[in-house]
Amino acid sequence: AALERVFLIQRHGARTPMAVVDGALDCDLPYCTLSDQGKAQCTAIGQQFAKPYADQLGITEYDVTEMHSISTSVPRVIESAEAALTGMFPTGLPYVDFVPNTQDLQMSHWTSWPAWSMSDGWHRNTSQLNAAVLQHMNASTLRRLGEHYNFPEGTCTDMANAGSCASVSSDTYFCQLMQGVALPTWITDLHEQMLQVRAVTLSYINGYYPDDPQRRATGSYGYPLASAMIAALTVEPASGFRYRFIHRAAHDWTLLALYSAVGYWTPAATADTTFAVAFAESLAVERHSHDDGPDTLKAYRARPGQVHSADYSFAVDRVEVPLKCISSTGVQSTTMDTAAGCPISDVARFIETTAPTSPEAECYATEDQLRAHNCLGDDAPEAGSICAFYRENCP
């Protein structure tokens, strides 16, 4: 077998926490910026995880004819991508392209998908999400965390917001852990629970639940990115696409959505701490050619250390992970079931099971949702303009 091409996507590195500004949580600049620790995490990903791929592909220096890097338009993510590329090639000048988040259907679904804003039934504070969070962290603990972190009134006092409280509490905790903040013992004792509620909130917000009619209609949030990944791994050089190392940089929400579209994450894993996506966590999907069969895919996940490092050094843990496959005869398997992996077409066939069932896809909304957002009546969109209409007119 020979390595032909690699698609690698990373989460940004550790950042500074959100701040309370004018009684509300704020993650816009100058808050939530990439920290020096986070930059070092991404550099480690480049050195220890990405560089060996470049070596195998014969890419000896940063070369925009061989490599292609795209980030979301958030500064900390662009900087994280640059740090990873610098880790690969310390003397190179990394170039990272980006798509504005409002237009980025592949990596920023919470900003670019009208369906996201139109449907608030499963955003953060659904009854299912709140109940799931409270199975792992009780109300008194959530209230205590809200008081400790001085979150705005109501964030952690009303358990109708349990999901949101758990999300911002765990987010702040993991940011502080990377900053080396001296935390009280009662908080560090919650480490496993913090991972659990992080996994639960990421899953409910971004995972593909096929039993949910809304999710089936819009498709998996990771479907556009997963489809683009398959295209990037399979398009032939004759078309003009000559990149052999395809690099993307995004967010924990992006990675969980992608994990669900390729079958690595499943609804049964909603509370599995494996899916509390870590800072700088990365997924690499490898395309291998074979003399005696079709090209296949294998996948590996990498994570750098998640605790403050005094010397900014981070070991990277690399493990193989399964992508789901469906053969032309309907037989299901994973890329880990054989040493060679699965034929690319079999992985693509599974991804298609998470495709939208509605032609409106990321612009799908029910009549009740349209009414709730004042998108019905005389100003209803014309046929074929629904996406643009939602983006322009509906709050």
Q: What is the pLDDT of residues 114-136, one digit of tens each?
A: 888 777 645 544 788 999 999 99
* Total structural domains within the chain: 2
Q: What mean pLDDT do residues 187-195 have?
A: 98
Query: Considering the domain boundaries, does residue 47 fall inside one?
Result: yes
Q: Mark whether 103 and 125 lie in a shared domain.
A: yes
The pLDDT of residue 384: 62
pLDDT single digits (tens) 9-34? 999 999 999 999 998 999 999 999 99
Q: Helices (DSSP H) in 34-74: which residue ranges?
A: 36-45, 51-57
Quote the CA–CA distance of 37 and 140 in Å, as a whole number: 32
Let me know whether 349 and 378 are in one domain.
no
d(CA 82, CA 69): 9
Range of the domain at 378: 367-393
Greater confidence, 327 or 153? 327
Amino acid 117: pLDDT: 79
What does the pLDDT read at residue 34?
Answer: 98
pLDDT attached to residue 120: 61
Contacts of 207 (CB under 8 A, 6+ apart): 256, 257, 260, 265, 267, 270
Quote the pLDDT of residue 391: 72
- Specify whether 264 is located in the same domain as 376: no
In a domain, 236, yes or no: yes
CATH number at residue 215: 3.40.50.1240
- Nearest-angstrom CA–CA distance, 16 and 215: 32
In a domain, 359, yes or no: no
Joined together, the tokens standing for residue 233 give 């791994």
**Which position has the higher pLDDT, 94 or 123?**
94
Confidence band for 171, pLDDT divided at 50, 70 and 90? very high
* pLDDT for position 237: 72
Assess whether 185 and 116 both reside in one domain: yes
Write out pLDDT tens, residues 61-81.
999 889 999 999 999 999 999
Where does residue 361 fall: left (phi above 0), alpha (psi -120 to 50 degrees), or beta otherwise? left
